[in-house]
């Protein structure tokens, strides 16, 4: 029986999953993923805590508040302040207050999409040869080099399966990435 290869959601190397739900190639990668998730959760908690302390009607916020609320680097904020792109008032040493609405427009809070990659990684595919193209077929059909095909397969986390010397990828996924233009 041929095993289905997946791409590790952390190191991006192909691996043979132990179960259909495996998305990491090894213990080190799954530990890394766990730590990353914890850091993200903590940041999100901090953001919510700070947000709940600032009433909606408050127009000016401090630099540390802006850093946590909008995930912007301190140096970036100060650069925008110096260049006059973010209106600021100075209430004294270390008491700069900056215009919240402006920062909000410049740095909209991004949705956390880190969980999405895992979601797509566990999506199940029929990887029977009749549902798949070989890499050679893809490059011929869409006029792209083999190496570009592999690059796109990695970029879009498309599952592949190797049988003998041929590597197969599901037609549905390949058609959807190349026919979308």
Residue 47's contacts (CB-CB under 8 Å, 6 or more residues apart) are 68, 69, 71
How is the beta sheet containing 96-99 ordered, strand by strand?
60-62, 96-99, 88-90
State the helix-helix crossing angle for 135-142 and 146-155, rounded to 10 degrees: 100
Convert residues 70-89 into a mask of x (bound to Zn ion by CB under 5 A) and - (unbound): --------------------
C-alpha distance from residue 106 to each of 3, 37, 52, 101 (Å):
47, 26, 21, 9
Convert residues 110-149 into a mask of x (bound to Zn ion by CB under 5 A) and - (unbound): ----------------------------------------
Min separation Cβ 48 and Zn ion, Å: 31
**Does 25 interact with Zn ion (rule: CB under 5 A)?**
yes
> How many other β-carbons are positioned within 10 Å of the β-carbon of residue 13?
13
Q: With CB under 5 A as the contact rule, which of the stretches 28-36, 44-52, 81-89, 107-115 interacts with Zn ion? A: 28-36
If the CB atoms of residues 7 and 97 are measured against Zn ion, the closer one turns out to be: 7
Q: With CB under 5 A as the contact rule, which of the stretches 24-32, 113-121, 153-161, 163-171 interacts with Zn ion? A: 24-32
**Does 103 interact with Zn ion (rule: CB under 5 A)?**
no
Phi and psi, residue 98, nearest 5°: -120, 155
**Does 23 interact with Zn ion (rule: CB under 5 A)?**
no
Residues within the interface to Zn ion (CB under 5 A): 8, 10-11, 25, 29
């Amino acid at each position: 029986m041929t095993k289905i290869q997946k791409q590790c959601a952390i190191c991006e190397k192909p691996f043979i999953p132990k179960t259909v739900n495996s998305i990491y190639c090894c213990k080190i990668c799954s530990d890394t993923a766990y730590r990353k998730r914890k850091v993200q959760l903590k940041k999100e908690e901090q953001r919510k805590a700070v947000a709940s302390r600032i009433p909606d009607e408050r127009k000016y916020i401090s630099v540390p508040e802006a850093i946590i609320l909008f995930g912007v680097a301190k140096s970036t904020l100060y650069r925008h302040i110096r260049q006059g792109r973010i209106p600021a008032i100075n209430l004294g040493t270390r008491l700069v207050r900056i215009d919240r609405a402006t920062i909000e427009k410049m740095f909209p809070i991004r949705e956390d999409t880190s969980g999405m990659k895992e979601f797509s990684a566990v999506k199940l595919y029929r990887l029977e040869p009749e549902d798949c193209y070989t890499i050679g077929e893809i490059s011929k059909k869409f006029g792209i080099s083999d190496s570009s095909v592999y690059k796109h397969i990695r970029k879009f986390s498309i599952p592949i399966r190797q049988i003998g010397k041929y590597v197969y990828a599901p037609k549905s996924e390949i058609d959807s990435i190349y026919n979308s233009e």
